[in-house]
Amino acid sequence: MFSHSIWLIGIALELALIVRGVQRGLLRRYPVFYSYVAFVVFTDILLFAARPTAHSYLYLYWIAEFAGLLFGCVVFFEFYRVALKPYPGTARMARALLFVLFIIAAVKTIVTLMNVPEWWFYARPAQVEGVLRVCQLLAILALTLIFLFYSIPFGKNLRGILLGYGFFVSWSVLCLALVTAGVAKADSFWSYTYPISYVLSVVVWTVHLWSYQPNPIPDRAIPLEQEYQRVAAATQRRLHTARGYLAKAVGS
Amino acid sequence: MISITLAILICSVVMLSLALLATRGSSVKRELAFRTDVPFYDEMTGDPSLCPPEFAARIFSPADWAFVSGEKSPEVLRLFRHERRVVALVWVHQTKTAIHRIMREHTRAASQSQDLNVATEAKLWSHYFQLVGICNVLILAIQSAGPSRVGTLATYAASLSHNFADAQHALAITTAARDLRGAGAAH
C-alpha cells in the first residue's frame, strides 16, 4: 500500500511537471529532459499496471531501469551543452576531464574482466547497474566541480535539473551498493527509500522548473582588444626602461 | 560494484558539491554583474597584495629571533614573538588572498577562451592547489611552532606564488593574443 502511494505520487508529480513545461514553453528549451520525464511516466504507468508477481515484470523492470539510465546520460549531456554554451574554455576542460574519467572507467573494466572473465555472465542486473551508476555519478561530480572552480553561473531551471538528478543518482548508488552487499532486501526500509528519492527529485524539478528562468550570460565578451592594448602598452614601457638601462650602461 | 563505505563517501562528496553549487548560485550572479569592469592584470600597479620573496624571508628569518633573544628581556621576547606571529599570519593570509584573486581572474579569462590549453590549465590548477595547501599548513605551523621554524616552507611558498603569478600572467597574454588572432581570422 505504501509503495503504491509513493508510485502514484511520483506519477502525479511527473505529469504536473510535464503539463507545467508545456504551459511555460520549457519543453522546447530542454527537450531531452522532458523526453526523459515522459519516458519515466510511461514506464511507471506500465509497471504499475503489470502484476509485480509475474515473471515478465522482472524483465520489464530491468529494461526500464537500464533505458532510464541511458536516457539519464543524454539528459546529462544536454545539461552540459546548455550550461557551457557561452563558456568554450570551461567546456573544453569539462570534455578533457570527462574523457579522463571515461578512460579510467574503461581501463578498470578491462582489468576486472581480465581477472574475472565470467563476470558479465554471472553478474546480477543490480551489480551492472551499480557500476554504470557510479560512472554516471563521477561524471556528475566532475561537472559540478568544474562549475564550482570556474564560477559558472546558471539559472534556476538548470540548477534544479542538476540538483534533482544528482540527488537521485547519489541515492541510487548508495542503495545499489547496499543491495549488492546484501544489506538491503525486498520490503526492507532501504527498498522504500529508492522510490522516495526519485519522488524527492521530481519535487526538486517541479519547484525549479515551475517557470522559465534564463541562464545568466556574461554582459559582454571579455574585452580582448582592450586587454591586448594593455599588454602592448606594458611591454612598450618595459622596453623603454630596458633601453634606459642600456643607455646608462653604454654611457658609463 | 564499490563497497558501502566508498559509496557513502562518493555520495557525500557529490551532495556537498551540489549543495555548494546551489548556495553559490546567487553570489556568482552578483559577481558576474561586477566582474566585466575589472581589468585582468594591471601592469601599472603590479600586484599589491603579493609581497616580494625577500620580504617573506625576512619575516621568517631566525636572525631577528636570535637578536631579540640576546637582549635577555622576557617582556621584549614575548612582545616580539606575538608581533612576529601576527605579521607572519597576515603575510600568509595576504598571499592566499592574492593567489585566490589571481586564479579567479584566470578562470574568468579561461572560461570564455576559444583555444584553451588543457595541459597548461591542469598544471596551473595543480600549482594553485599546492599553494593553497602550503598556505594552510603554514597557518597551522605558525600558530603551533612559530614563524622562525617554518622559514624554508614560507620562502618556498613565496617563490612559488610569484612563479604562479608570472605563469598566469604569461598564460593570460598568450590566450589573449591567440583569441585575438582567432577573432581576427573570423572577421
CA distance B7 to B1: 9
User: B-chain residues within 8 Å CB-CB of A169?
Assistant: 14
Residue B37 has what pLDDT? 43
Inter-chain CB proximity B111 and A152 less than 8 Å:
yes
Distance CA A201, CA A43 (A): 17
The three cell numbers of residue B131 are: 599553494
pLDDT one-digit tens code per residue, A180-201 = 888 777 677 777 888 899 999 9
Q: From A223, which residue of chain B is nearest by alpha-carbon distance?
A: B36
User: Mind listing the pLDDT tens digit for each residue in A67-87?
Assistant: 998 999 999 898 998 999 889
pLDDT at B31 (0 to 100): 46
Looking up cell 565578451 gives A221
3-state secondary structure of A82: helix
The answer to whether residue A83 neighbours chain B at the CB level (below 8 Å) is no
Domain boundaries, chain B: 47-186
What does the DSSP 8-state code read for residue A215?
P
Question: CB–CB of B43/A230 below 8 Å?
Answer: yes
| CB proximity A145 to B under 8 Å | yes
Q: How far is CA A223 from CA B29, B101, B187, in A?
A: 19, 19, 16
Chain centroid to CA A41: how far? 20
Determine the pLDDT at residue A173. Answer: 92
Among A111, A131, A129, A207, smallest CA distance to A164 is for: A207
pLDDT of res. B25: 57
Cell numbers at A209, concatenated: 522548473
Q: Cell numbers at residue B136, please?
A: 594552510
pTM score, two decimals? Answer: 0.74
CA–CA min distance A130, chain B (Å) = 6
Given a contact cutoff of 8 angstroms between Cβ atoms, the answer to whether B150 and A128 are in contact is no
Q: What is the pLDDT along chain B (187 residues), one digit of tens a residue?
A: 678 898 899 999 999 999 988 887 544 444 444 444 444 344 444 454 567 777 777 888 888 888 888 888 888 888 888 888 888 888 888 888 888 888 888 888 888 887 788 888 888 888 899 889 988 988 888 888 888 778 788 888 888 888 788 777 777 777 666 666 666 655 5
Question: CB atoms < 10 A from the CB of A147, how many?
Answer: 28
Please name which of A232, A104, A97 lies closest in space to residue B116, comparing C-alpha atoms: A97
CA angle B55, B61, B64 (to 5 degrees): 105
Distance CA A227, CA A40 (A): 50
Cell 637578536, located at residue? B67
Closest CA to A174 of B129, B15, B182, B77: B15
Report which of A114, A115, A106, A110 is spatially closest to residue A135, judged by C-alpha positions: A106
Contacts of B99 in chain A (CB under 8 A): none
Residue B43 confidence (pLDDT): 43
- The pLDDT value recorded for residue A161 is 93
- Nearest by CB to A173, which of B10, B41, B107? B10
Given B7, B118, B180, which is nearest A174 (Cβ)? B7
**Which A residues 169-198 touch B at CB under 8 Å?**
169-171, 173-174, 176-178, 180-181, 183
Please name which of A6, A9, A17 lies closest in space to residue A39, comparing C-alpha atoms. A17
Residues whose CB falls within 8 Å of the CB of residue A219, separated by 6 or more in sequence, listed in order? B32, B33, B36
Cβ–Cβ gap B17/A171 under 8 Å:
no
Higher pLDDT, A153 or A163: A163
pLDDT of residue A234: 66
Residue of A nearest to B173 (CA): A231
What the block records as the C-alpha cell of A202 is 521530481
